[in-house]
Structure 1
Amino acid sequence: MIHTFNYTVPEDGLTIDTLFQEKWKLGKKLIHELRMQKAVSNVGGELLQWKLPNKKGDVLVFKWEGEASNYLLSDQIPLYVAYEDEYIIVASKPRGASTHPNEDGQNHTLINTVMNYLSLKGHHYAEHIHRLDEGTKGLVVIAKNPLVKGMLDRMLENKEIVRTYEAIVEGQVKNNHGTIRAAIGSDRHHPSRRRVSPSGQQAITHYEVVGRNPEFTKVNAILETGRTHQIRVHFSYLGHPIVGDELYGAKKTPTRTYELHAFKAQFKHPITGEVLIVEDKKLES
């Protein structure tokens, strides 16, 4: 499919080479593909020289052939968009929904719903940068073209996308803030459960207590690493499983759901450089 977007040059003297290599830090393969496709022009359609300086306020038009997303369209789950621009959408996943399909024909997921929403606007690409467990509600960052997808993937790998979770856990967490450093691996006794294991992958969770009552503690947690079920495993390891998280030792609750919410995402916009702080203000899960 054809991808296209406009970019306004923010400073005098910026070349396309510098933009791609230093500001956006694109990979060599992608830069080569864009060069071969002659992907950059001005608003009049004139192809631009990559080594020539541009003026502040000039508009660069990017147009290239790239991969499309092939998700089925669906409006089966409610969609709340916390942030959207030409390049990115940050959407809130309801508790109980998957982030993306795990098998052919599956369409009751967040990404199917986002694709349906974007298709009504004439867009045909949406790829998630990270995922949330089915039982976790909250924000998921989604790229609207493959160039931005690559940039956001690199940012996630470099820990430049900060995701903050709110969890309500059983009991009284002793310290008001702290860091949990405990490697996580598979649990050989259960196909989907994880456990703290010396032979597992490094896992680091930072937390701060933000509320207490006699039975529960409310914490904000930030992941330094992104292991499967990391927050759930770490607080269970401390003896304070997330309320309702029976898989990790919590007491049963009437709702049979657990209280974990990815409520904030903070990162520097890969295209504009603006610092984005996006919060999930959806009232219901």
Structure 2
Amino acid sequence: MPTAIQQAVEKEERPMPDERRAFVNALVDQMMQHERNPTRAMCHSIVRLIVRSHPKSFADISRRGEVVGDGCPSHLQQVKTRVEYKTRNNTLARRRRSREGRRNTGVAGESRLTRGPVDQYGCVRWCPADLPEGETEATLEDSKRDLRNIYSEEGMGGAERAEPLMVRTYVILRRYLNRMPAPAMLEVKEEWPFLFSQRGLFSHFGLLTDVNILQKLQEALGQRGQTILHFSQKLDNPKIREVLASYDPEGSEKAACILQLLMVYFKEPTEKLMLEVDVSFF
């Protein structure tokens, strides 16, 4: 146990956040000496013992001084997240694989990828081990060469044509990205240029998380957009009022207005995210 944690426990005080993180790291390292891939139940048992032994230092306490649940949730989450981080490239994770079977990544007849368990980061295909149906290492390398040829001929303009090949080569791309040490960004851009296209990035994110980011964004704007507008109208902020003044419910793009409002509210420079163009010149 780190010295800072020992002192906090002896004084029945709560450790500082960085001290607690160091304790979690040390705890997980010790756990993994006995079990390379601890389950959540294993983590919960150990965390519960710690919390029960030192409740004033580790138990989750509400503002009214009451223990939240069994006092373990936040500490358990930290421990389990650390375990997930340490075992992301560990093939033992396959023993927790979901039994949903195989799922199509596109239209009927296209290659398939197995959906793994959801980890603490929301990834379901972080490091897939199985190749798509009907594919071999050699055929996937051929597809990768085809991608580079398309890029050399068409540049990013070939992103639409490259998208099916990006889906097909997802397994070897993840293997490449997950290697240690991690490849440099310039190297990734040279080896997998279409990963930096909008189509390639959205497609990759969809396979990695099973989330259609554009659809989710549209749904979120549809469900929460009006609430954000109403909230912004109550704020006494000149920059927010400026954005609202330029918004026309009949002719303006509501999504763009909401994004601008959020960026202004969180003090983000809008010019670094949005490229505004006078379309009258086109």
TM-score, normalised relative to structure 2: 0.23
- The structure that is helix-richer by fraction is 2
TM-score, normalised relative to structure 1: 0.23
- The structure that is strand-richer by fraction is 1
